[in-house]
Amino acid sequence: MYENYSILFVDDEIHILNSLRRGLLEEKFTCHFAESAMKAIDVLETETIHVIVTDMRMPEMNGLELLKHVQVYHPTIIKLVLSGYAQLPQILTTINQVDIFNFILKPWSIEELAVILHRALDHYILQEENASYKALLETKNQAYQSILKRIDDVVDQAKKSAELLRICGNEIIGFGKNFCQDEQSMYHEILTKQQDMYNLLSKTVTIERKACESDHIQQQITQLISKQFPEAVFDTRPEVEDSVFVNLQMLEAIISSIIVLFHEEFTQHGLYVNFGYGNRFIISLISPNAAKAAAEEASDTTTCTDAKRVWIKNLLEKIFDLCKITFQIINKDGNLVIGFSFEEQ
């Protein structure tokens, strides 16, 4: 039980150290001996000591000074005092200043001493086990805290995703709910696309964002748009390897819904896709003259293109407020411009 533990005995009287050496020869623990406090400090620096037993009256440095040193630099070591009756006042002073496990009065028997030494080692082992259990509990507590935080994050994301789904439903399905027959006829093109847009967005509703390389986003969006609208023209600027936070699946669903909604405008006036690299990574969908042409067709009324722009703007601004994407849809010099920008990592 005590094979891996060591006790240091300190006394300036050589015969006492020799008596201890002989008397404890059969013990399982390792014994170290020092003839002075200074030599004891040398032993403490080179050996792993678990219990120290010291005399009080020694030249150069006395027992109290040695134990104070031990308490500061080796606080886990169990401290015992081995002294005679004449040193009781000094022992009491030591007890008041240093944490002493026990003191042994001379003359002592080796049997009584062995019992006290075993108790001291048991106390050290108990402290060691308690420290181990405490470290284990702290590790488990950190793990539990991490799990609880992850659960909180998942619940929070689920709540926000549910809010996102509610927004999609209210904005998409709610469009035209109170239209009269003439308005339903005017905006028939939009009404026929509500279900398709809702299906696209609701399948990917989540606010969870991940770090993505901008060149990867560019490749994914290029493939997506090319598949849905082969006539699209892409800006072929050199790719920049910036990392941005984005929900790529949600972004793809939103761009798909925009292509569905503005398919007629893109077919008539073209679709140009620009990937920009300024202070932020930017994606722009541009349909030249689409807004101008729509205005010329009905200069005194709200056009279907205008209604689409207002509708998609209301929808996406609410979605992107939760997804942390900056969004704009504007009529710039008669061109329909839809832009997205993303936070850098």
Q: Give the C-alpha separation, 313 to 329, whole Å.
A: 7
Which of 29-38, 163-172, 242-251 has the highest average model confidence (pLDDT)?
29-38
Count H helices and E strands in the chain, helices first: 13, 12
168, 198 Cβ separation under 8 angstroms:
yes
49, 74 Cβ separation under 8 angstroms:
yes
**Residue 144: Cβ within 10 Å count:** 10
Q: What is the pLDDT of residue 300?
A: 45
Q: Is the pLDDT of residue 88 over 70?
A: no
Q: Give the C-alpha separation, 33 to 13, whole Å.
A: 11
Q: Is the pLDDT of residue 21 over 80?
A: yes
Q: What is the pLDDT of residue 51?
A: 96
Residue partners of 192: CB distance under 8 A and separation at least 6: none
Question: Which tokens belong to 97?
Answer: 């200043």
Q: What is the pLDDT of residue 180?
A: 74
Rounded to an integer, the average pLDDT of 96-100 is: 77
Query: Which is higher by pLDDT, 19 or 84?
Result: 19
Residue ranges of domains in the chain, CATH in brackets: 6-135 (3.40.50.2300), 175-342 (3.30.565)
pLDDT in tens, 186-204: 777 777 777 887 777 777 6
Q: What is the pLDDT of residue 49?
A: 96
- Pick from 80-89, 257-266, 281-290: least confident: 80-89
Instruction: Answer whether the bond into residue 107 is a cis peptide, omega within 30°.
Output: yes
Tell me the pLDDT band of 301, cut-offs 50, 70 and 90.
very low
pLDDT in tens, 141-159: 888 788 878 777 767 766 7
Rounded to an integer, the average pLDDT of 8-23 is: 94
Rounded to an integer, the average pLDDT of 177-181 is: 73
Q: What angle do CA 304, 309, 315 make, to 5 degrees?
A: 125
Q: Is the pLDDT of residue 336 over 50?
A: yes
Q: What is the pLDDT of residue 196?
A: 80
Q: What is the pLDDT of residue 145?
A: 83
Q: Is the pLDDT of residue 342 over 60?
A: yes
Q: What is the pLDDT of residue 19?
A: 93
Q: Give the C-alpha separation, 89 to 95, whole Å.
A: 10
Question: Which tokens belong to 210?
Answer: 């991940």
254, 307 Cβ separation under 8 angstroms:
no
DSSP 29: S
Q: What angle do CA 174, 303, 329 make, to 5 degrees?
A: 70
- Pick from 5-19, 119-133, 238-252, 328-342: least confident: 238-252
Q: What is the pLDDT of residue 207?
A: 61
Which of 59-68, 146-155, 245-254, 289-298 has the highest average model confidence (pLDDT)?
59-68
Question: SS3 of 285, please?
Answer: strand
Question: Which tokens belong to 256?
Answer: 């798909």
Tell me the pLDDT band of 75, cut-offs 50, 70 and 90.
very high
- Pick from 179-188, 226-235, 246-255, 260-269: least confident: 179-188
Q: What is the pLDDT of residue 89?
A: 64
Q: Give the C-alpha separation, 255 to 266, whole Å.
A: 13
Give the chain's end-to-end CA distance (angstroms, integer).
56
Q: Give the C-alpha separation, 130 to 128, whole Å.
A: 5
Q: Give the C-alpha separation, 6 to 34, whole Å.
A: 13
Q: Is the pLDDT of residue 183 over 60?
A: yes
Q: Give the C-alpha separation, 113 to 85, whole Å.
A: 16
- Pick from 62-66, 124-128, 218-222, 298-302: least confident: 298-302
Q: Give the C-alpha separation, 162 to 207, whole Å.
A: 10
Check: pTM over 0.75? Answer yes or no. no
- Pick from 75-79, 138-142, 176-180: least confident: 176-180
Rounded to an integer, the average pLDDT of 16-42 is: 94
Question: Which tokens belong to 217?
Answer: 């986003």
Phi, psi of 197 (to 5 degrees): -65, -40
Q: What is the CA radius of gyration of the chain?
A: 41
Q: Is the pLDDT of residue 125 over 50?
A: yes
